[in-house]
Amino acid sequence: MSEKQMTKQEMLNHLEKGMDLVKKRYGSADEEYYSALKELGIEFSEERLIEDYARVKDTEALFDAYYKQYGDILDSEHEKEWVNSDIFFELIDRIIPRHFDFAETGDPFFITTALNELCMDDLRKADQKEIEKILRALITYSKTRDQHNLEKTLEMPDMNGLIRELVRVCHNRDASFRKLIQEMYECFDDMDPKIFPSVYKEAKKK
């Protein structure tokens, strides 16, 4: 076997090993995660995660805190090769939605996740209730983080354009929906007036 062929085989072996590790990670139950962490000297539980998240209500901030505390241990070489610092994102993504509503936490990670899932399909078929939930989450984000620039809210391009499309497909524009959009205008200084002109005028009268 030539050196080039050996290199190719090694690459295939690494790829296969990587796929096995990914399958192990995403196919493992929560308790397997806690057990693996315990073997590395890290005491962790669902209760702790819920308690910690309740204080910050921000996935990125919580992950950063865990990484600062445990990153060196998890990302070093050890027998549990399928376990590294990304385990915390996986646990947060699994557990937090069971106990918290992102419309009430305003967590940008879950807002972005919801937007990405929504945009993967035909927006014309989107459930208006799901859209309204995302808009409420953005309002919560603005109020709890004192962030009033829509374009700087998430790491996504053209938020005004995206909100315009979301509002456009919402056909039930009753008083409740108009109030929701009015709150959006009151929260974000740079929200495009053309998204809902009549509501924009009402918001600016206050």
Q: What pLDDT shows up at residue 3?
A: 45
Distance CA 36, CA 26 (A): 14
Q: What pLDDT shows up at residue 116?
A: 93
Q: What pLDDT shows up at residue 100?
A: 97
Q: What pLDDT shows up at residue 204?
A: 77
Q: Dmax over Cα atoms in the chain, in whole Å?
A: 78
Q: Say if CB 38 and CB 78 are below 8 A apart.
A: no
Q: What pLDDT shows up at residue 139?
A: 98
Distance CA 95, CA 100 (A): 9
Q: What pLDDT shows up at residue 167?
A: 96
Q: What pLDDT shows up at residue 22?
A: 66
**Is 67 exposed, middle or buried (CB count within 10 Å of its CB: 0-12, 13-18, 19+)?**
middle
Distance CA 44, CA 33 (A): 9
Q: What pLDDT shows up at residue 124?
A: 83
Domain ranges of the chain: 28-100, 104-205
Which stretches of the chain score pLDDT less than 50?
Answer: 1-4
φ, ψ (nearest 5 deg) of residue 140: -60, -45
Model pTM score: 0.83
- Give me the sign of the Cα torsion angle 169, 173, 178, 179: negative
Tokens of 111: 């807002």
Q: What pLDDT shows up at residue 85?
A: 86
Q: What pLDDT shows up at residue 75?
A: 85
